[in-house]
Amino acid sequence: MKIQIRYFASVREALGVSQESVSLPAQATTVGAVRAFLIERGGVWSTALGSQRALRMAYNQIMAGPDTPVGEAGEVAFFPPVTGG
Amino acid sequence: MTVRVQTQDFDFSGEIARLRLGNPAIGAVVSFLGAVRDVNDGAAVSEMELEHYPGMTEKALEDIVSEARRRWDVIDVLVIHRVGPLKPLDQIVLVAVASAHRGEAFLACEFIIDYLKMEAPFWKKEQTAEGARWVDARVTDDQALNKWKLSAKEQT
What are the average pLDDT values for consecutive 10-residue runs of chain A, which has 85 residues? 97 97 95 97 96 91 96 97 95
CA-nearest residue of chain B to A19? B53
So what's the pLDDT on residue B156?
A: 44
First CA to last CA distance, chain B: 27
Cβ(B31)–Cβ(B70) under 8 Å?
Answer: no
Q: Please count the residues of chain A.
A: 85
Q: Which residues of B40-72 are buried (b: 16+ CB within 10 A; e: fewer)?
A: beeeebeebbbbbbeebbbbbbebbbebbbebb
Q: Please count the residues of chain B.
A: 156
> Under an 8 Å CB criterion, which residues of B touch A?
34, 50-53, 55-56, 59-60, 81, 92-93, 113, 116-125, 134-138
- pLDDT tens sequence across B36-74: 999 988 889 999 999 999 999 999 999 999 999 999 999
Q: Which residues of chain B have pLDDT under 50?
A: 156
So what's the pLDDT on residue B154?
A: 56
So what's the pLDDT on residue A53?
A: 80
So what's the pLDDT on residue B124?
A: 97
Nearest to A82 by CA among B155, B123, B32: B123
Give CA–CA dist B32/B108, Å, rounded.
11
So what's the pLDDT on residue A83?
A: 95
Q: DSSP secondary-structure letter at B102?
A: H
Number of A:B CB contacts under 8 A?
Answer: 70
- DSSP H or E run through A23: strand A19-23
So what's the pLDDT on residue B109?
A: 98
Q: Which residues of A43-56 are buried (b: 16+ CB within 10 A; e: fewer)?
A: eebeebbeeeeeeb
CB contact under 8 A, B56 and A82: no
Taking the CB of residue B23, how many other CB atoms lie within 10 A of it? 10
Give CA–CA dist B131/B120, Å, rounded.
26
